[in-house]
């Protein structure tokens, strides 16, 4: 299916979806944080889409907004989509976990939590993955200050 065909299907699910105009071979859609779970569930289960493979989850700090980028593929139909979700809440950023839709998200969401501090509602085991439990702050945020400058040591 073409990107246009995918877009025509999913645009009927919500009037709040934004389709990115950036040049990419994959369709990019920005989903409101409150609709993330429902849209992701439909992406996986819709009979003409069947995005059954979550192959990349990336935390992002866009300056004002924190967010997550999900790269999905249909192993049956061989089409792809990029789903972006953003929140302006930098104090307690939250969004729903998609780990019960795609099990690979469980690990990736822990990584995003560890480095960006985004809390995933209903995650089965949200905890620090790479950094020690006593670590203060989230080192991949643009406003993170590294007092010791660990890179130069």
Q: Which two tokens stand for residue 72?
A: 């999905």
Tell me how far apart the alpha carbons of residues 135 and 133 are, in angstroms, rounded to a whole number.
6
Tell me how far apart the alpha carbons of residues 62 and 37 are, in angstroms, rounded to a whole number.
21
Q: Is the pLDDT of residue 85 over 80?
A: yes
> Which CATH superfamily, name and number, covers 3-121?
NADH:ubiquinone oxidoreductase Nqo5 subunit (3.30.460.80)
Chain segment 28-66, per-residue pLDDT in tens: 999 999 999 999 999 999 999 999 999 999 999 999 999
- Domain layout of the chain by residue ranges: 3-121
Assign 11 a pLDDT band (cuts: 50, 70, 90). Answer: very high
Residue range 129-139: average pLDDT? 91
pLDDT of residue 146: 77
Crossing angle of helices 3-10/36-45, nearest 10°?
120
Give the SS3 label for residue 117: coil
Tell me how far apart the alpha carbons of residues 90 and 74 are, in angstroms, rounded to a whole number.
33
Residue scoring higher pLDDT (142 or 146): 142
Residue scoring higher pLDDT (149 or 57): 57
Query: How would DSSP label each residue in 4-56?
Result: HHHHHHHTTT-TT-EE--S--SSEEEEEEGGGHHHHHHHHHH-TTT---EEEE
């Amino acid at each position: 299916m073409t990107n246009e065909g995918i877009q025509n299907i999913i645009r009927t699910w919500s009037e709040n979806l934004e389709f990115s105009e950036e040049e990419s071979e994959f369709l990019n859609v920005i989903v409101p944080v409150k609709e993330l779970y429902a849209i992701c569930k439909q992406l996986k289960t819709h009979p003409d889409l069947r995005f059954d493979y979550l192959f990349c989850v990336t935390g992002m700090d866009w300056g004002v907004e924190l967010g997550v980028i999900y790269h999905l593929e249909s192993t049956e139909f061989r089409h792809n989509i990029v789903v972006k979700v953003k929140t302006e809440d930098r104090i307690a950023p939250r969004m729903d976990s998609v780990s019960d839709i795609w099990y690979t998200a469980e690990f990736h969401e822990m990584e995003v939590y560890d480095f960006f501090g985004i809390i995933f509602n209903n995650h089965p085991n949200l905890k620090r993955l790479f950094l020690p439990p006593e670590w203060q702050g989230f080192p991949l945020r643009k406003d993170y200050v590294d007092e010791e400058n660990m890179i130069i040591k």
